Amino acid sequence: MSIVQEIRCSNCGAPVKFNPGEIVATCRYCGFTQVIETRKAFDFEHSVILNSYKPEQVDDLVRNWMRGGFLKPGDLARASKILEKNLMYVPFWLVQATATTTYKGVFERLTPPVSKEGKVEKKYNWLVLARKATEFPTREYDVPLDGKIPYDFKKIEGFSKVLNSEIERDQALEITRQQIEDAHRFLIRQDIDKIIEMKTEFEIGTSVYLHAPIWLVVYEYKGNVTASGLMEQQE
């Protein structure tokens, strides 16, 4: 059970609710984003991707999603019943980073094995989910970044829920570094079998705090109730 707490918005004085673990909150009434602990304005660029579905169109989104993907039962779209659909704006950190990994290792698929070295250098717009809790299903969201605009509370639907961040920027940068390094390790393993040395250097650019719309859909299929988070996909 979570205990909802409340502070006053430092900008307009309206109540701002938050749950334990949340550290950055956005006011529903004026869009002001503040750090809960200090009540100070948040220093980073805050963006939003708007939702373009009306609640009555979400059924189509869900049915299309149900029809795709080979792991889903063939009659899922026909035989399931949508019980609930809620629009949530989920927080992410979008981190610009250039990562350069230099490595040395051994290619063992030949006899005799060969020593190899190389470099992987890539530029990223890395997305980090700014939530720790698992109140909605964890899956990778393909966030359509082209639609990103400065956060505008007037465009946020009254029936939607804007989730607060549980991850601060420094943590997001740390997660970015770890995840990119893991991705590079995976790439390097295509080139060599044994890594002897590997070093990654990062050049971190701008970090943007971003709310993206996700429809949390609860449906019943053959007596089982499942929740799934769906995001509008880029054309």
User: Site residues for Zn ion, window 6-25 (CB under 5 A)?
Assistant: 9, 11-12, 14
Residue whose entry in the numeric block shows the structure tokens 């956060």: 151
Task: CB nearer to Zn ion: give 16 or 173.
Answer: 16
Q: Given the rule CB under 5 A, which of 32-40, 104-112, 159-167, 179-187 is the region that contacts Zn ion? A: 32-40
Query: Residue 30 interacts with Zn ion (CB under 5 A)?
Result: yes
- DSSP states of the chain as a string? ----EEEE-TTT--EEEE-TT--EEE-TTT--EEETTT-PBP-SEEEEE-----GGGHHHHHHHHHHSSTTS-TTHHHH-EEEEEEEEEEEEEEEEEEEEEEEEEEE-SSSS-EEEEEEEEEEEEEEEE---S-SS--------GGGEEE--GGGS-TTSEEPPBSS-HHHHHHHHHHHHHHHHHHHHTTT-SEEEEEEEEEEEEEEEEEEEEEEEEEEEETTEEEEEEE-PPP-
The residue (of 13 and 55) whose beta carbon lies closer to Zn ion is: 13
Query: How near is the Cβ of 30 to Zn ion at its closest, in Å?
Result: 3
Q: Is position 129 an interface residue for Zn ion (rule: CB under 5 A)?
A: no
Of positions 24, 25, 27, 173, contacts Zn ion by CB under 5 A: 27
Q: How far is the CB of 67 from Zn ion (least distance, A)?
A: 42
CA 72/CA 64 separation, integer angstroms: 12
Q: Does 32 bind Zn ion (CB under 5 A)?
A: yes
What CA–CA distance (Å, rounded) separates 177 from 204? 9
Query: 1 or 4, CB closer to Zn ion?
Result: 4
Q: How far is the CB of 46 from Zn ion (least distance, A)?
A: 13
Nearer to Zn ion, 27 or 130 (CB): 27
Residue 133 CB, shortest distance to Zn ion, in Å, is 24
Total residues at the site for Zn ion (CB under 5 A)? Answer: 8
> Which position has the token pair 């809620």?
86
User: Shortest Cβ distance from residue 17 to Zn ion (Å)?
Assistant: 12
| Shortest Å, Cβ 65 to Zn ion | 35
- Of 30-38, 51-59, 95-103, 191-199, the window that binds Zn ion (rule: CB under 5 A) is 30-38
Give the binding site for Zn ion (CB under 5 A): 9, 11-12, 14, 27, 29-30, 32
